[in-house]
Amino acid sequence: KQEVTQIPAALSVPEGENLVLNCSFTDSAIYNLQWFRQDPGKGLTSLLLIQSSQREQTSGRLNASLDKSSGRSTLYIAASQPGDSATYLCAVSPDSNYQLIWGAGTKLIIKP
Amino acid sequence: DVKVTQSSRYLVKRTGEKVFLECVQDMDHENMFWYRQDPGLGLRLIYFSYDVKMKEKGDIPEGYSVSREKKERFSLILESASTNQTSMYLCASSPLVRVTEAFFGQGTRLTVV
């Protein structure tokens, strides 16, 4: 059974730092992996989606990597800002017709 | 701007009450989902629907039912609310052929007392 783990559960860093959030999964047979952002009272927003054949995706200051063989993904945030404070969730999909399997998230706080 | 709208942000209900959580999407998506989110557990799928009047159980359907009478609306029903159903409930929708590209509502925080 696929399990998704995100460590640490919470992270606090000063503004301006580059940081990495981690996601690991137990079964390398995935269809894709997504990173989401969750703000209080605003639901979830998809940030980056990486197909199983891809190694990374970039959007602005965000870069997500995928290493299927080791069961790991990282979300790199460059030059962090207080507005980046949120909970970041990782989710994998076993195939194109199945639902997402979620990590518990990392709560990120960027201190001004 | 695409939208998934949940009818309530916060709800407080008593044990044993029948509770309805409503979700409406305006993107003409075939798939709709109900998740619950608890600290340290991530999101867990309760039910999903891929068409009107169709439903499939997710990982934790016990104590819940759903209704999809119209394509844009997906309701989650707690037949007899219990305190262990206190949680954040999230609704999502996605296109039929891109099921994992989901859009989420803002969530309903339900407290059962």
Q: What digits encode the pLDDT tens for the residues A63-103?
A: 999 999 999 999 999 999 999 999 999 999 887 666 789 99
The tokens for B34 are 């109900």
Query: What percent of chain B clears pLDDT 70, i.e. is strictly above it?
Result: 95
Of chain A residues 41-60, which have a CB less than 8 A from chain B?
Answer: 41-46, 49
Task: Name the closest residue on chain A to residue B94, using Cα atoms.
Answer: A99
Residue B90 CA to residue B106 CA, distance in Å, equals: 7
CB contact (8 A) between residue B100 and residue A45: no
Span A52-60, average pLDDT: 95
Point out the least confidently predicted range of A2-11, A98-107, B23-32, B90-99. Answer: B90-99
Residue A6 CA to residue B110 CA, distance in Å, equals: 25
CA B74 from centroid of its chain's CA atoms:
7
Nearest to B100 among A34, A44, A103 (CB): A34
At B41, the pLDDT band (50, 70, 90 cuts) reads confident
Nearest to A43 among B40, B101, B106 (CB): B106
Which residue in the block uniquely carries the two structure tokens 């989710």?
A91
Which residue in the block uniquely carries the two structure tokens 């039929």?
B96
- Considering A29-33, B36-40, B84-88, B100-104, the range whose residues carry the highest mean pLDDT is B84-88
**A22: distance to nearest CA of chain B, Å?**
15
Q: What is the β-pairing status of strands B103-104 and B87-94?
A: antiparallel
DSSP per position, A41-110: TS-EEEEEEEETT-SEEEETTEEEEEETTTTEEEEEE-S--GGG-EEEEEEEESSTTS--EE---EEEEE
**A100: distance to nearest CA of chain B, Å?**
6
